[in-house]
Amino acid sequence: MTDQGDPSITRSDPSLTDADEVARALAVDPATGLTTAEVARRLAEHGPNELRSTRTNPLWRRILAQFTDPLIILLLVAVVISVVAWIVEGAHGWPIDAVVIGAIIILNAVLGLVQEARAEQAVAALSVMTRAQSTVLRDGELHTVASAELVPGDILVLGEGDQVGADGRLLRASALRIAEASLTGESEAVEKSAATLTAQVPLGDRLDMVYKGTAVARGTGRAVVTETGMTTEMGAIATMLDETREEPTPLQQEVSRIGRVLGRVVIVIALVVMLALALIEGINSPSDFVTILLLGVSLAVAAVPEGLPAILSVVLALGVQRMAKRNAVVKQLSSVETLGSASVICTDKTGTLTTNQMTIERIVTASGTVDLSGAGYAPIGRAAVDGRPLEPGALRTEAQIVLGAGALANDAQLAEHDGVWEIEGDPTEAAFLVAAHKLAGIVEATAQYGRIGDVPFTSERKMMSTVHRRADGSTVVLSKGAPDVLLERCTRVRVGDDVVPLDGARRAAALADIEALSQAAYRTLGVAYREAPEFGSLDQGGDVADPDESHERDLVYAGAVGIIDPPRPEVPPAIAEAHRAGVRVIMITGDHPATAARIAADLGIVEPGRATALTGTQLDQLDDAAFAQAVRDISVFARVAPEHKLRIVDALQADRLVVAMTGDGVNDAPALKSADIGIAMGITGTEVTKEAANMVLADDDFATIVEAVREGRVIFDNIRKFLRYLLYSNTGEVLTVFFGVVFAGVLGLSDASTDSIVLPLLATQILWINLVTDSAPALAMGVDPEIDDVMARPPRGLHERAIDGRMWAGIVTTGVTLAVITLLTIDVFLAGGVIPGGTDSVDVARTAGFTTLVFAQLAAAFVARSATSSAFHGLFSNRWLVGAFVLGVVLQVLVVSWPPLQVAFGTASLDWQHWVWCAVAATAVIWVDEIRKAFVRASDRRRAASGGGNARGGGTGVRDAGRALADGDGPRHPSSIA
Ligand SMILES: Nc1ncnc2c1ncn2[C@@H]1O[C@H](COP(=O)(O)OP(=O)(O)OP(=O)(O)O)[C@@H](O)[C@H]1O
């Protein structure tokens, strides 16, 4: 055997091989794992642990894809026809139109490619941020590494909620249950064991193996990695999963739908224009035909916003990047849209609304209350009774037991590094360690207790126990947990040095103490114990090895602690902001109802003094109708188990609400999947919840969710802005040509020298506007800052159209204005027509019209930034837009004045009077729209005054619901909760 291991082990069946044998064959010591150097070597040899299911898209294919748009194909065909016509006519000079249009198409393709690459880069960067992680043993230490870096021979350390990163042979398993549905379809989690199998069995029955892509539902274990990447069982079926392909978002679908509709409309318009031209002018030569054809096709290209999907993905991707910088890592582009329309946020309390910095401040036992001073994790503080400091060692026995047992029934660690006290593990547990260290004698007393077993904590059980053997060989069960839950397992209570029965009065007194602690916003935990001779060593009469829930009985209640977990300071303003935005906030916590209600009131989730919390037990008693009503009325749910979250999501969604739901534990995953936006905690969350979520909160902070909702709304607003802008421009161009040709006679747009009508725009000019000058402002609008106060309005319905009636009104108004000023400009400078007196040539007049149109469109970019606010509001707040405006003007000056471009685009030089006219005429777009917006605002004010469409409805609605509930009025209040 070399030190790289025996590769044949991966070919033989590791499930039939002894675990140590497998580890030996893979040349790894299960006690220390591989060395870093060896990992690097194996990674180079085996490649990353990834499923390469997606084919890479070669450049040529991506380039080709830029030309697959039907309109671009149409344009290419037209170019070919014009070249043919040019040849037929004797191939004099250059086929200028064909060359120019060809160049524009290529430029457009390049821009498309660049945008696509940017969007892809952003998405790829995200997938790096959200990639799965695994815990491994390397160099004798535990490390968290990207699962993609696992290699054969790695020792995987598995815990509840972990994703299994690679295939492996179990070395040990403790109550390990693995959910293998993704691999075998089996919905029940499978109980695993390290015992070697004796016969070959199907995948689902290989209990001594774990497989990539499955998840730890419960328990812990260690496994030696046998296969990675495509050679895993998941790799074998990976061709079936094309996981990275993204569904188009609802908005992207709507945009393609709009594109299709516009395409049809404009083809009709183009045909009418072409027919009108052919009839009025007649087709006397191939070049006449080509001119008409190119114009028709250009019109079609101009009207359909074919650049839109590309801009859309760039804007979504940039938005997602911006959100990631603010700690909200969104996994799919579509979630950005959904976030913007969230109408309810269901949030955990601990760590999300609070800082998760737990400090025990109070110990309440049968003999009274002890207060403990000190903050943070530094074990510095003193005990006091009724405000009088206690002498060291004078602490009552019960209080000593509470802290001592709490510190023993504990998986956390407290250590000092460079003068700073740090904790490892659950902060609730660490609080016991800190408190025990503050007082003399407790830590010393716990030293003689050796731990021999445990019954782990789960959110469902809300308690945990450990079994210890003392120096004298006696054994004891120590339990800590939610006091109300713990008391149900207690039959006796510690009073001073005595143990007395826990009769009705004593139980009531204990519960009252807990209630009082909870109402003071303390998180409460009880501590209990029992002598447990059944665990004694065999010669002492013990007969049990592994503890389970049945041993958590007949306990002696020692007392409870009040833990302060301060609210995050940024949360109350975030909740107020959510309410202002019509977003309801619901707290769902495992904590005590009184604690939950008090903190909810402190944070502003419900009105102070009116907070009511419903517990999981109460929820269980409600039928579906009462449950639905309760979820409508109540915003604080306490002592709930993860399955209640799922039921709450379903009830809210049945009311057509868009639900965001947070979670951290493995059992939260179904609720996160079911919610419209599942949000996993980045710090405390398990891999399984992160996998199930649409968004991961890097800082676990509630305020980040509200920030993400705002960002989602801003992004959606920006998408509407450039949709508006592109549709303004396109409508303007189409109407210009349509009116210009169809009403040429009325408008008198004719060339006196040849007696033919003057085309208001040439085909190349249309393409120039559409594919060159339009793109930059549209892109700039995608990163526009918040112009309208997006949090002042209620959430948008998930299926609400991006383009509503009001937007269409704006599109028609602006489109018509653009066409009118363009045609007017041509008319002014041309002899004859409606406005007589012009003296310019056709080329000059048309160039002036073209320039007016371009300037007016650039101005329209500012108009398009808001549905209601003035174009002058925040005029310079987007430097990209200002830059795009300047660029547009410069490009237009070039195309009008630079001789080579004059030839290409059929323009002629303008004098200063022309330029002034164009600039002034262009501003008409702004004035007309300012008038329209004034009407819109006035109508909004009227509607608000008459009580409809109040943007603050959601916020007050939540409060009203709370008030109605507290007042107990009306039929909306389910009687079973009262
Ligand atoms: N490590 C622990 N050991 C024993 N009991 C615990 C432990 N952690 C929490 N508890 C008890 O279980 C209860 C529920 O805890 P759980 O973790 O399910 O929810 P939570 O942390 O209170 O709230 P949230 O659901 O908002 O995160 C707590 O109120 C506490 O009384």
pLDDT exceeds cutoff 60 at 682: yes
What is the percentage of the chain residues whose pLDDT exceeds 90? 37
Give the Cα separation of 687 and 159 in Å (integer).
10
> 78: pLDDT confidence band, cut at 50, 70 and 90?
confident
Q: State the complex-level ipTM.
A: 0.97
Nearest ligand 1 atom, CA 411: 1
Q: Return the pLDDT at 960.
A: 36
β-strand pairing of 584-588 with 636-638: parallel
β-strand pairing of 490-495 with 498-501: antiparallel
Whose CA is closest to atom 19 on ligand 1?
590
Taking each helix axis from N to C end, the angle separating 250-281 and 286-303, rounded to the nearest 10 degrees, works out to: 150
851-871 residue pLDDT tens: 999 999 999 999 998 888 888
463 lines ligand 1 (CB under 6 A): yes
Domain 8-49+150-239 class, CATH top level: mainly beta
Give the Cα separation of 955 and 451 in Å (integer).
52
Q: 662: closest CA among 607, 709, 617, 726?
A: 709
Q: How far is the CA of 558 from the centre of ligand 1 (A)?
A: 19
Q: How far is the CA of 359 from the centre of ligand 1 (A)?
A: 14
Q: How far is the CA of 459 from the centre of ligand 1 (A)?
A: 6
Q: Return the pLDDT at 890.
A: 94
Domain 73-107+249-320+709-945 class, CATH top level: mainly alpha
Q: How far is the CA of 590 from the centre of ligand 1 (A)?
A: 6
CA angle 678, 681, 686 (to 5 degrees): 95
Fold of the CATH domain 328-353+568-700:
Rossmann fold (3.40.50)
Structure tokens at 86: 């040019």
Q: Where are the alpha helices (DSSP H) in 130-240?
A: 181-184, 233-236
Q: How far is the CA of 462 from the centre of ligand 1 (A)?
A: 6
Give 62 or 924, the one with higher predicted confidence: 924
Residue 427 in contact with residue 358, Cβ under 8 Å?
A: yes
426 lines ligand 1 (CB under 6 A): yes
pLDDT exceeds cutoff 70 at 975: no
Q: Return the pLDDT at 968.
A: 32
591 lines ligand 1 (CB under 6 A): yes
Task: Please choose from 410, 457, 595, 639 the residue to mutate so as to test ligand 1's pocket, defined by most ligand atoms within 8 A of CB.
Answer: 457
Question: Per mean pLDDT, which range of 27-31, 169-173, 309-313 is the poorest?
Answer: 309-313
Q: 740: closest CA among 722, 723, 765, 717?
A: 765
348 lines ligand 1 (CB under 6 A): yes
354-401 residue pLDDT tens: 998 899 999 999 989 999 998 888 888 888 998 888 887 778 889 999
533-584 residue pLDDT tens: 888 765 666 666 678 889 999 999 999 999 999 899 999 999 999 999 999 9
Q: How far is the CA of 960 from the centre of ligand 1 (A)?
A: 30
Q: In 3-state terms, what secondary structure has residue 175?
A: strand
Whose CA is closest to atom 28 on ligand 1?
591
Whose CA is closest to atom 4 on ligand 1?
481
578-587 residue pLDDT tens: 999 999 999 9
Fold of the CATH domain 359-564:
Calcium-transporting ATPase, cytoplasmic domain N (3.40.1110)
711 lines ligand 1 (CB under 6 A): no
Residue 23 in contact with residue 224, Cβ under 8 Å?
A: yes
Q: Based on the number of CB atoms within 10 Å of its own CB, is 661 exposed (0-12), middle (13-18) or buried (19 or more)?
A: buried
Q: What secondary structure does DSSP assign to 325-362, as a single string?
A: HTTEEESSHHHHHHHHT--EEEE-STTTTB----EEEE
Cβ-based neighbours of 205, under 8 Å, separated by 6 or more: none
80-112 residue pLDDT tens: 887 887 888 777 777 787 888 888 788 878 888
Q: How far is the CA of 482 from the centre of ligand 1 (A)?
A: 7
Domain ranges of the chain: 8-49+150-239, 73-107+249-320+709-945, 328-353+568-700, 359-564
pLDDT exceeds cutoff 80 at 963: no
428 lines ligand 1 (CB under 6 A): yes
Residue with tokens 């000092």: 416
Which sign, positive or negative, has the C-alpha torsion 346, 254, 721, 335?
A: positive
459 lines ligand 1 (CB under 6 A): yes
Give the Cα separation of 147 and 155 in Å (integer).
12
Model pTM score: 0.81
Give the Cα separation of 951 and 442 in Å (integer).
57
Give the Cα separation of 85 and 905 in Å (integer).
19
What is the percentage of the chain residues whose pLDDT exceeds 70? 91
The catalytic residue positions are 348
Q: Count CB-CB contacts under 10 A for residue 231.
A: 18
437 lines ligand 1 (CB under 6 A): no
429 lines ligand 1 (CB under 6 A): yes
Main-chain dihedrals φ then ψ at residue 720, nearest 5 degrees: -60, -35
Whose CA is closest to atom 5 on ligand 1?
481
Average of per-residue pLDDT across 695-710: 93
